[in-house]
Amino acid sequence: MIKTLLIAPYQGLAETAKKVDKPEDIDLDVTIANLEKGVKVAKLAEKQGYELIISRGGTATMIQDEVSIPVVHIDITGYDMLRVFTLIRGIKKGVALVGYANISQGAATICNILEFDVKMITIKSRTEVRGHLEELKQQGFAVVIGDVITVQVAEQVGLRGVLITSGKEAVTDAFEEGKRVYNFFRRVNSQFYYFQETFNSLPFPVILLNKNADVIEKNLMFEQDNQCQEILESPVILKVIKRVLESETNQWTEVEGKNTIYELQVFLVSKSEGIAGINVHASVVKSDNRAVRLIGSPVHIPIIGDSDEAKRLRNSIQQFAHADEIVSIIGEPGTGKYSVAQELHFEKFGQESPMVVLEGRHLTSEDKLQSKLMAIKRGTVVLKDIESLSAEMQDVLKNILRNIPTAMRVIVLANESLDYLVNNRALDNELYQEISNHVIHLSPLRERKEDIGAFVDYFLAEFHAENGDETVGMKQDAIEYLLQFEWLGNLSQLKKIIRELSTMTTANYIELFHVKELMNKYKQMSIANDKKLPLDGTLEEIEQQVIRQVLEEEGNNQSKAAKRLNINRSTLWRKLKQ
């Protein structure tokens, strides 16, 4: 049974409704209330469990805006019109009809057929009624036909109002329409209910936002996760939503909270409504040793320089940019392996897909890599420092490579040649077979010193944009002075020095004496450090410190460090991993 309330704006309608045969599934109550009073009654009825409201005219329209159960209008039918015109057939002159288009248009047709002289006035809002009626009165009209509101106002201004009443046919139609609308409403409602339930039971936090990053909907998990709320404070959100709505593609991004880093998948819900959704895919505690990082929108890295090496590198990037196969990039620490990987990613995927960076030395089997890569599906996986992966992790990696989604490209970075690693048992043989087919070798900076000037300019421009530094260039003699060093730490070391120079210089150009001063300071520091032997901790710990210091001095070049310590490189790795 559909618990139904018919709110009649006038007494006669209530009486008609009681006399009409009701469909079996309509459980009907009838009450009399007009306009605002009708709305009050309807709101109360909704709270009391009524499932359907039937009403008429302006009252029905007002109720419909205020309740969330279906409201059915009793229409004015041709029979109703005929009845009212028959009623007034004796009055030949001074009759007008004032009503909404649904009444006036039908009435005009009937008047034409029956040759009645009735002035038709169509209104758009009930506030227009009084003005029209006062005018009609001035023009000598005596009788006004219309809805409840027209009749009420007519009487107030001194005209005779004749109500277009609804007959049994209209009420019967409304019951049938009520059943139909109610069933449809129930179906939609249950679909909405299932959607809501599914949305709420998703096992990860999800929110829907509009283009201004205002939250439209949160699922239960997001609601209950107090910490997650900080995502909404990040300026990244507005930017990424704009990007998703404009490009109509899903995006991955990271947002940094106070103690947590959130990996978010931002997806398009409706372009026309400007709605996007955010799925909080993972949240990891911030730490320096993060094994997996997600780079949502990797940028283009220009491959700088005029040296043969720079030209060769640009060619290799062209050659491998669109390859699906695994590419390995080999080079000493700081030679730009990661930057080249980023450029390869950018060439293939632009900013549409994320880059997942795995830090070999921090990876453990608990990092749930497989599920992460499956969720991302498209993009680049960059594995840094493959030589520091434990044997166990190398097995995990082999498995991952075999099951990786086809639209994910893998790039491996290593400080030593893969042949050297496999010969020294630092790299599993099967893994070697999989990753050694496409290799890019990066030369150390000391072998491409002619590019130093170009890098100095590039780094200065980068710091200028970052910090608004005053420095815009380096004098030629100062650049030439830089060429005499070996740059064992390669581009990383050069960048560090240029950063320091640009901070210590207040003039527009870095002069030779600035460079000399800084390089001297470093020379002295390294002499002082040479003399200090760390004696804290156990013998093993002291040994570790010595190895690390030598490695640092050798610009992280493990071959050189091993040579200086007179041990072979596998011993060096073993000791470092202890």
Ligand X SMILES: Nc1ncnc2c1ncn2[C@@H]1O[C@H](COP(=O)(O)OP(=O)(O)OP(=O)(O)O)[C@@H](O)[C@H]1O
User: Cα separation of 452 and 562, whole Å?
Assistant: 28
Minimal CA–CA distance to 7: which of 75, 56, 47, 67? Answer: 56
Please state the closest distance from residue 451 (CB atom) to ligand X, in A: 9
CA 198 to each of CA 204, 206, 219, 221, 264: distance values in angstroms, whole numbers, following the listed order: 12, 11, 9, 12, 20
Count, residues in the chain? 578
Kindly indicate which of the ranges 125-133, 243-251, 329-337, 500-508 contains the residues binding ligand X, using the contact rule CB under 6 A.
329-337
Residue with smaller CB distance to ligand X, 271 or 496: 496
Residue with smaller CB distance to ligand X, 41 or 418: 418
> 51, 69 in Cβ contact below 8 A?
yes
Please state the closest distance from residue 496 (CB atom) to ligand X, in A: 8
Binding test (CB under 6 A) with ligand X, winner from 492, 549, 559, 570:
492
304 binds ligand X (CB under 6 A): yes
**Could you give the string, one character per residue 117-146, with x where binding to ligand X holds by CB under 6 A and - elsewhere?**
------------------------------
> If residue 26 lies in a helix (H) or strand (E), which one and from where to where?
strand 26-32
301 binds ligand X (CB under 6 A): yes
CA 227 to each of CA 130, 212, 259, 283, 293: distance values in angstroms, whole numbers, following the listed order: 58, 22, 10, 10, 20
Please state the closest distance from residue 289 (CB atom) to ligand X, in A: 15
302: number of Cβ within 10 Å: 10
307 binds ligand X (CB under 6 A): no
Kindly indicate which of the ranges 54-62, 102-110, 394-402, 490-498 contains the residues binding ligand X, using the contact rule CB under 6 A.
490-498
Binding test (CB under 6 A) with ligand X, winner from 110, 142, 275, 303:
303
Kindly indicate which of the ranges 160-168, 268-276, 331-339, 426-434 contains the residues binding ligand X, using the contact rule CB under 6 A.
331-339
495 binds ligand X (CB under 6 A): yes
334 binds ligand X (CB under 6 A): yes
Minimal CA–CA distance to 451: which of 301, 309, 300? Answer: 309
Please state the closest distance from residue 574 (CB atom) to ligand X, in A: 20
Q: C-alpha dihedral over 322, 324, 330, 333, to 10 degrees?
A: 80
User: Cα separation of 160 and 548, whole Å?
Assistant: 104
CA 455 to each of CA 183, 409, 474, 516: distance values in angstroms, whole numbers, following the listed order: 71, 29, 11, 19
User: Cα separation of 80 and 537, whole Å?
Assistant: 102
53 binds ligand X (CB under 6 A): no
333 binds ligand X (CB under 6 A): yes
Crossing angle between the packed helical segments 78-87 and 101-114, to the nearest 10 degrees? 60
Minimal CA–CA distance to 256: which of 293, 291, 225? Answer: 293
Residue with smaller CB distance to ligand X, 219 or 556: 556
331 binds ligand X (CB under 6 A): yes
Say which residues have a Cβ less than 8 Å from residue 272's Cβ, sequence separation at least 6. Answer: none
Residue with smaller CB distance to ligand X, 337 or 409: 337
Binding test (CB under 6 A) with ligand X, winner from 64, 152, 339, 390:
339
Kindly indicate which of the ranges 75-83, 130-138, 283-291, 326-334 contains the residues binding ligand X, using the contact rule CB under 6 A.
326-334
Please state the closest distance from residue 448 (CB atom) to ligand X, in A: 11
Question: Which residues form the interface with ligand X (CB under 6 A)?
Answer: 301-304, 331, 333-339, 384, 413, 415, 458, 491-492, 495
